[in-house]
Chains A and B, each alone.
Chain A
């Protein structure tokens, strides 16, 4: 995504939430109050645009804890830059999803 790219408020909110440490889809839904039908397609789009990256957690760890493997999301460097621009564009973003909550 180009540096001048603009995110919608919803996409910026999701990106901010991932940046705050909510790595899983359902956690992001909890934090933002957005439905799954919005959060997941937004994550897919941001992943394809290189703003977030996804990874499966180590299988060994999950097997040891007898639970299924989860996929988590992280903000990339490009995503962080776009987020910074979005925070200027949407000043309330930081207040809506403050880092201290996580």
Chain B
């Protein structure tokens, strides 16, 4: 047999695989198993060597084939363990009647409902690698720029029209005449296809702005210098996704395409990873001296102690006196910090709207509340309320966190709307999600025992709607613990005097049913 040293690397690595895989094989067969595999590898190598086919492809094939040893060893071990595991696996493969009953009971339990809701939450945590968007949102205030208050502003929408930016020539007028502003810069948000040497037609967030913008938000570039005009500044996420973290990105070309807008720009700076402008999405800043559109959004830093009312008065005065603009609608201001928390507010509004709709649809009335507050019902009602609250909280958390992580946006600004409160997609996602949760929660609660909160079972259909000899027809559901029966009538008999379902019409209805003579 040739010396061990003469064996090529691929054969030695293959043998190493066999030695590791042998650990999985049953100990009594291990030596023989190892011998068989090693002999096969040796013979394969020798055969290929003698036929002159020992090339790179065959070496890789040998390595790949030797990995099959892990499967082989696992198979042997599984066969060895199969008789031992059979009694444990039996209840799962063919559950007995008792096991089935236990599974059914478990499915009806209120705790199962909460566990089932916790699973998607856990999945979202795992799939999103620890909820980065939610964590950033919660710590938004901690990484907001320091110093005076930052506001961004636009005009109040006209009736029947969309939101408007302010006229672009107001920005230099405010910059030179305002005594209440520390700094002011224009910006606009757009989405146009962007191409680099490594990525084609990506659609990052494109922010058109001026050099002062970066001073106002208080960010210094991690690499390069902020340009004065017609150059690109990339944020860290854009640097990673558009240039694949190219260390020589400074000075390279970046192509911005789109309808009536197709130019190459030089990359002048990359921003630090800690900086984000209301978004976690990759953002490309195109620095311009003069805005390319007639209307712009404005980012301004206020001097300490200045209030919005004072600022509004001053800015309106400057607009009238310097630029002769008599604005027909109010300027709108949005605080930077509160803008970061917009998703929370949006979700709160969505949840409230959904609560009201659900209450209306399910006819939740004050008399239900009064009955629940009676001393004899109080403990059970508290249980029901706690379970309902826990269920709704968990389900809403799944919706909120899921939407937030999936949308990958911290602000609705990024969704194309100038007004962050009107970000349509995220808002609709929240409303639909919250409504779905509340409808499900109320429907689920209705089908539970009022004492033990287990789902009612054994539905029995009584009578039929066409023949009401049994006084009523409908379905009866039982609590499996024997706490009670829920009657769900299909059609109530009209002769039941005590029934609340018969409503007598008063004289005001007479005209409607008057017969023509």
Q: Is A94 close to B, CB under 8 A?
A: no
Q: In the complex where A25-B40, A68-B38, A70-B40 touch, is A44 in contact with B68 (Cβ < 8 A)? A: no
Closest Cβ of chain B: how far from A81's Cβ, in Å? Answer: 24
Residue contact B39 to A69, C-beta cutoff 8 Å: yes
Q: Is A6 close to B, CB under 8 A?
A: no
Q: In the complex, what residues of A have CB within 8 A of residue B70's CB?
A: 37
Q: In the complex, what residues of A have CB within 8 A of residue B35's CB?
A: 68-69, 71
Q: Which residue of A lies closest to B64 (CB)?
A: A35
Most chain B CB within 10 A, of A36, A39, A70, is at: A36
Residue contact B1 to A24, C-beta cutoff 8 Å: no
Q: Which residue of A lies closest to B72 (CB)?
A: A40
Compute how far the CA of A54 lies from the CA of B489 in the bound complex, rounded to whole angstroms. 73
Residue contact B65 to A35, C-beta cutoff 8 Å: yes
Residue contact A37 to B39, C-beta cutoff 8 Å: no
Residue contact B66 to A36, C-beta cutoff 8 Å: yes
Closest Cβ of chain B: how far from A62's Cβ, in Å? Answer: 9
Q: Which residue of A lies closest to B69 (CB)?
A: A36
B26-44 toward A: CB 8 Å interface, digit per residue (1/0)? 0000000001101110111
Q: Is A66 close to B, CB under 8 A?
A: yes
Most chain A CB within 10 A, of B40, B44, B69, B70, is at: B40
Please tell me which one of the listed residues A26, A44, A71 contacts residue B72 in the complex, with CB atoms under 8 A apart: A44
Residue contact B72 to A41, C-beta cutoff 8 Å: yes
Inter-chain residue pair count (beta carbon < 8 A): 63
Closest Cβ of chain B: how far from A37's Cβ, in Å? Answer: 3
Q: Which residue of B lies closest to A70 (CB)?
A: B39
Q: Is A78 close to B, CB under 8 A?
A: no
Tell me the chain A residues, 21-73 only, with Cβ under 8 Å from chain B.
24-26, 29, 35-41, 44-45, 48, 66-71
Q: In the complex where A36-B65, A68-B1 touch, is A41 in contact with B36 (Cβ < 8 A)? A: no
Compute how far the CA of A39 lies from the CA of B67 in the bound complex, rounded to whole angstroms. 12
Residue contact B68 to A48, C-beta cutoff 8 Å: no
Residue contact A24 to B43, C-beta cutoff 8 Å: yes
Residue contact A41 to B75, C-beta cutoff 8 Å: yes
Q: In the complex, what residues of A have CB within 8 A of residue B64's CB?
A: 35
Q: In the complex, what residues of A have CB within 8 A of residue B330's CB?
A: none
Q: Which residue of A lies closest to B75 (CB)?
A: A41
Closest Cβ of chain A: how far from B21's Cβ, in Å? Answer: 11
Residue contact A29 to B65, C-beta cutoff 8 Å: yes
Q: Is B372 close to A, CB under 8 A?
A: no
Q: Which residue of B lies closest to A71 (CB)?
A: B36
Q: In the complex where A67-B42, A68-B38, A68-B39 touch, is A37 in contact with B1 (Cβ < 8 A)? A: no
Compute how far the CA of A16 lies from the CA of B200 in the bound complex, rounded to whole angstroms. 53
Tell me the chain B residues, 8-31 only, with Cβ under 8 Å from chain A.
none
Q: In the complex, what residues of B have CB within 8 A of residue A29's CB?
A: 65
Interface size, chain A (Cβ < 8 Å): 20
Q: In the complex, what residues of B have CB within 8 A of residue A48's CB?
A: 79
Compute how far the CA of A36 lies from the CA of B37 in the bound complex, rounded to whole angstroms. 10
Q: In the complex where A26-B65, A36-B65, A36-B68 touch, is A67 in contact with B40 (Cβ < 8 A)? A: no
Residue contact B46 to A67, C-beta cutoff 8 Å: yes
Q: Which residue of B lies closest to A54 (CB)?
A: B36
Compute how far the CA of A67 lies from the CA of B1 in the bound complex, rounded to whole angstroms. 5
Tell me the chain B residues, 47-76 only, with Cβ under 8 Å from chain A.
64-72, 75-76
Closest Cβ of chain B: how far from A80's Cβ, in Å? Answer: 24
Q: In the complex, what residues of A have CB within 8 A of residue B68's CB?
A: 35-40
Compute how far the CA of A69 lies from the CA of B72 in the bound complex, rounded to whole angstroms. 20
Q: Which residue of B lies closest to A42 (CB)?
A: B75
Compute how far the CA of A40 lies from the CA of B37 in the bound complex, rounded to whole angstroms. 10
Closest Cβ of chain B: how far from A64's Cβ, in Å? Answer: 11
Q: In the complex where A37-B67, A39-B68 touch, is A26 in contact with B79 (Cβ < 8 A)? A: no
Compute how far the CA of A66 lies from the CA of B43 in the bound complex, rounded to whole angstroms. 11
Q: Which residue of B lies closest to A25 (CB)?
A: B40
Compute how far the CA of A71 lies from the CA of B37 in the bound complex, rounded to whole angstroms. 9
Closest Cβ of chain A: how far from B14's Cβ, in Å? Answer: 11
Q: In the complex, what residues of B have CB within 8 A of residue A25's CB?
A: 36, 40
Closest Cβ of chain B: how far from A92's Cβ, in Å? Answer: 25
Compute how far the CA of A41 lies from the CA of B42 in the bound complex, rounded to whole angstroms. 20
A1-35 toward B: CB 8 Å interface, digit per residue (1/0)? 00000000000000000000000111001000001
Q: In the complex where A36-B72, A40-B72, A68-B38 touch, is A26 in contact with B43 (Cβ < 8 A)? A: yes
Q: Which residue of A lies closest to B66 (CB)?
A: A36
Residue contact B71 to A37, C-beta cutoff 8 Å: yes
Q: In the complex, what residues of A have CB within 8 A of residue B46's CB?
A: 67
Q: In the complex, what residues of B have CB within 8 A of residue A71's CB?
A: 35-36, 39
Closest Cβ of chain A: how far from B59's Cβ, in Å? Answer: 14
Compute how far the CA of A24 lies from the CA of B36 in the bound complex, rounded to whole angstroms. 10
Q: Which residue of B lies closest to A43 (CB)?
A: B72
Q: In the complex where A26-B65, A29-B65, A37-B67 touch, is A44 in contact with B43 (Cβ < 8 A)? A: no
Give A contacts to B, CB under 8 Å: 24-26, 29, 35-41, 44-45, 48, 66-71
Closest A-B pairs by Cβ, 6 of them: A36-B68, A37-B71, A37-B68, A40-B72, A41-B75, A68-B39
A-B residue pairs in contact (CB < 8 Å), sample of 17: A24-B40, A24-B43, A25-B40, A26-B65, A36-B68, A37-B67, A37-B68, A37-B71, A41-B71, A44-B72, A67-B1, A67-B43, A68-B39, A69-B39, A70-B43, A71-B36, A71-B39
What 10 new A-B contacts, CB under 8 Å, besides A36-B71, A66-B1, A70-B39?
A24-B40, A26-B44, A36-B65, A36-B68, A40-B75, A41-B71, A44-B72, A48-B79, A67-B43, A68-B1
